[in-house]
Amino acid sequence: MTARRRTILVVDDTPDSIMVLCALLKEAYDTKVAVSGEVALRVLGAAPVDLVLLDVMMPGLDGYEVCRRIRAMPATAALPVVFLTARDTPEDAALALAAGGDGHLAKPVDPARLHAMLGRLLAP
């Protein structure tokens, strides 16, 4: 019996970032895409995913608020959330953790770090 492929929700308002992330993930994961925080919350309400890759800086709801809302919903409270951002200071990492994130990766994303973090967070 083969293991079920995990599904990752990629949330980013930049088409190039979405394209790069989906290309990095396609061999090991199924992906869903949301182009805003509002769309991400609707996707999460409609179908389960195993992890969220969440951009911080987006119009409307920023990534921190999206993560707080994910944590507030019983169905998604334990869902792993990894922040992706061009802002890579210790303060930014602290904000991500304070909002409920499980990890913080700088853009451009290092593929090895991304896959290592996903493997840790999605371990059986």
Could you tell me the two tokens for 52? 């969220």
CATH code, domain with 30: 3.40.50.2300
pLDDT tens digit at each of 124 positions of the chain:
556 799 999 999 999 999 999 999 999 999 999 999 999 999 999 989 999 999 999 999 999 999 999 999 999 999 999 999 888 888 988 999 999 999 999 999 999 999 999 999 998 7
CA nearest neighbour of 106 among 83, 74, 81, 77: 83
Residue 71: CB atoms within 10 A of its CB come to 15
pTM over 0.75: yes
- The answer to whether position 49 is within a domain reads yes
Count: domains in the chain: 1
- Interatomic CA distance for residues 51 and 59, integer angstroms: 22
Show the CA angle centred on residue 112, arms to residues 64 and 122, nearest 5°: 60
Domain residue limits at 87: 7-118
pLDDT, residue 90, reads 87
Residues in the chain: 124
pLDDT, residue 66, reads 97
pLDDT, residue 47, reads 87
